[in-house]
Amino acid sequence: MAGSRLPRRLFLQGVAAVFMFAFASLYTQIPGLYGPEGILPARKTLRPQGKGRWQQLWETPTLLWEAPRLGLDTAQGLELLSLLGALLALGALLLSSLRHPVVYLLLWAAYLSACQVGQVFLYFQWDSLLLETGFLAVLVAPLRPASHRKQAPQGGRAGALPHEDLPFWLVRWLLFRLMFASGVVKLTSRCPAWWGLTALTYHYETQCLPTPAAWFAHHLPVWLHKLSVVATFLIEIAVPPLFFAPIRRLRLAAFYSQVLLQVLIIITGNYNFFNLMTLVLTTALLDDQHLAAEPGHGSRKKTTTSWPKALLATLSLLLELAVYGLLAYGTVHYFGLEVDWQQRTIHSRTTFTFHQFSQWLKTLTLPTVWLGVASLAWELLSALWRWTQVRGWLRKFSAAVKLSLVSTATVALFLISLVPYSYVEPGTHGRLWTGAHRLFGAVEHLQLANSYGLFRRMTGLGGRPEVVLEGSYDGHHWTEIEFMYKPGNLSRPPPVVVPHQPRLDWQMWFAALGPHTHSPWFTSLVLRLLQGKEPVIRLIQSQVARYPFHKQPPTYVRAQRYKYWFSQPGEQGQWWRRQWVEEFFPPVSLGDPTLETLLRQFGLQDKSPPRARSANSTLAQALHWTRTQLSPLEAPALLWGLLVTIGAVRVVQALLAPWSLRSSPLAPASGEKRRPAPHKDSGAASEQATPAPNPCTSSSRTARRKK
């Protein structure tokens, strides 16, 4: 069995990168979202209830309880956490010594702390996904870098410990839950667009923040859109069980299919760090052999293999071909694929009913749980086998303790995850072991496991709903307030902002789907615009001079609902066309009875003044200075700047690596050959274990010890 050292390293680097983007993106928006003059001030969410310090921390797990001890209010504490989180994640991305469980625990705790006060602006599925993945990184990260360990015996995996692969299996299980549930909910929602295979004829136009490429994708032929929906169902529902296939080529095929889907989504939509996070999860499908981590593997001479191995390889190949054939047949049969050679198109349609799919799901969901149990059992047995290869009673005892702790944590997290996973099928949810429900209920507020299901229903089938804010000084002449990222100006091209998430723009998209009373925060946004609060204005336009009411706040503010469509090819200078639908929010001014009633109804009236804090606090002054220096930068530019900086540092590290090796006192002199290390007795042998043989894999080899 090929090792997972390099995939684990890629996973830890990827998690650090996503944390860095998430913290940096959030930092740029804190004053306008959560500051004292923001839309939803964070200080309102943390009210001491007279409980003990530790009970309060357990019930509302956030480090921001300690902000007053530092002379900071809640929003400033959130700024400090975001800055420290971004810097710590950057360090973990660049320095292997910082990829330590404690570092990832701090990153997870900091983001969980932010989510506790983030309210509706931090209630997205990818925020929960980042928390769950970040906690898994705590278990995957090694206590000691591999370079500090002794070499494994010949034929073993250098630096491998018996327990190392167990937490990494949970990453694969998380990827399975994410993709399988995302595919299933599209059909269980009974959305006519998904069932009619026409979802993508609307998706590119109606998604929250499309990219310029979405305009071109939208105008592709309808038959290609429908075929793309079929491919989406194939990748999200049929392929995920292959994540646990015993044949590595099937796992690699599953890996590339997932990568293809995520890359296409990145090209056509601004989904912040979500797709990057999903790509990070796919590293669990890789191994060292595929990533060329085993030097000389591809240049080994072919040797004569025994007939049992040749038979096993042949059977594996036949099984692999049978799986591909089954997937192809199922796709053609259940989606009625027919080739029209005259029109040069492929026709597709759904040939099964909702009742049939529900029965299939009821039959299959519990077996997928048992598939996870079987795969985890194999990983546990493999780890136990590797433990038996550890030599030296002291090292064997140490490895047994580590293996016991990690195995217990892995099994516990697996049991916890079964509860949210079973939400896709209520019958399976009710048949789960009651102990799993109790365990999940005890830690649910920590978001160690979550339910997923993206793009459940396709919105905007009759046109993309969009809310347009307007301001006026006299109540007769109105000026539109244009946002930086969401559609507004018909001639402005869609932006590219990934990996940044403009959270106000995202919530404006959700607000347009219903009445304004379903989005109470919108009333607070109107109030802040009437008050002319600069932090909120910067969420709309980072360059305040571009805001139409930057000199004087508007006397009146209202909102209109429009329907937007992509322009047709040939319409020069136009990316969008629109049609007025209705008034979304009535014209109001400061002191207006309608506004006051809404503020009182939603509990948005700020009756209590901000808590007093030391304005001369050194930490507060440092945070203010940092904000002043970074505020001229737009958030996407800041994140892209971080990306360029990382690339430059990587290049420098690559250039300096040969020089550091030459200057190392352990490096052999020129022309001198490195002598092999003398053989040590079993008492001083390394604790690294040889890999367990995989009888189901054609590329598996029996490990050999030194004689």
Same domain assignment for residues 514 and 403: no
Are 218 and 362 contained in the same domain?
yes
Full residue range of the structural domain in which residue 402 is found: 163-291+312-461
Residues 382 and 441 both lie in one domain: yes
List the alpha helices (DSSP H) in 432-531.
434-443, 503-511, 521-531
- Over residues 503-523, the mean pLDDT reads 96
Is the pLDDT at 704 greater than 50, yes or no?
Answer: no
Same domain, yes or no, for 343 and 382? yes
pLDDT at 56 over 50: yes
Give 276-311 pLDDT, tens digit per residue: 999 999 999 999 988 874 444 444 445 567 888 888
555 lies in a domain? yes
- 452 occurs within a structural domain: yes
DSSP string of 263-322? HHHHHHB--TTHHHHHHHHGGGG--TTTTT-STTSTTPPP-PPPHHHHHHHHHHHHHHHH
Tell me, yes or no, whether 202 and 270 share the same domain: yes
Give the end of a domain, one of 571, 604, 637: 604
Instruction: Compute the half-sphere exposure of residue 244: CA atoms within 13 Å on the CB side of its CA.
Output: 24
Among 461, 482, 503, which residue terminates a domain? 461
**pLDDT tens per residue across span 217-237:** 999 999 999 999 999 999 999
Residue at 240 is within a domain: yes
pLDDT in tens, 357-391: 999 999 999 999 999 999 999 999 999 999 999 98
Are residues 457 and 491 located together in one domain of the fold?
Answer: no
What tokens appear for 450 in the block? 């979550």
| 443 located within any domain | yes
Residues 433 and 343 in one domain: yes
pLDDT, position 632: 87
Query: Is the domain of 412 the same as that of 469?
Result: no
441 & 549 share domain: no
Res 660: pLDDT:
62
Examine the pLDDT at 628 and tell me if it is beyond 60: yes
Q: Does residue 23 lie within any of the structural domains?
A: yes
* Domain stops at, among 554, 589, 604: 604
Question: According to the model, what pLDDT value does residue 324 have?
Answer: 96
Question: How many domains, the chain?
Answer: 3
Residues 469 and 453 in one domain: no
Please indicate, yes or no, if residue 626 is contained in any of the structural domains. no
What's the mean per-residue pLDDT of the chain?
Answer: 88
Can you tell me the distance from the alpha carbon of 272 to that of 265, in angstroms, rounded to the nearest whole number? 11
Residues 391 and 281 in one domain: yes
Assigned token pair, 699: 């590329």
Q: Are 186 and 111 part of one and the same domain? A: no
Instruction: Tell me what the mean pLDDT of segment 269-279 comes to.
Output: 96
446 and 61 in contact (C-beta within 8 Å)? yes
Q: What is the 8-class DSSP label of residue 236? A: I
> Is beta strand 479-481 parallel, antiparallel or unpaired with respect to 576-588?
unpaired
Is the pLDDT at 152 greater than 50, yes or no?
Answer: no
pLDDT of residue 291: 87
Top-confidence residue, 655 or 408: 408
Q: Is the pLDDT of residue 687 over 80?
A: no
- The reply to whether 685 falls in a domain is no
Residue 699 placed within a domain:
no
Work out the number of other CB atoms within 10 angstroms of the CB of residue 112.
Answer: 21
pLDDT > 50? residue 694: no
Q: Among 7-11, 393-397, 557-561, 701-705, where is mean pLDDT lowest? A: 701-705
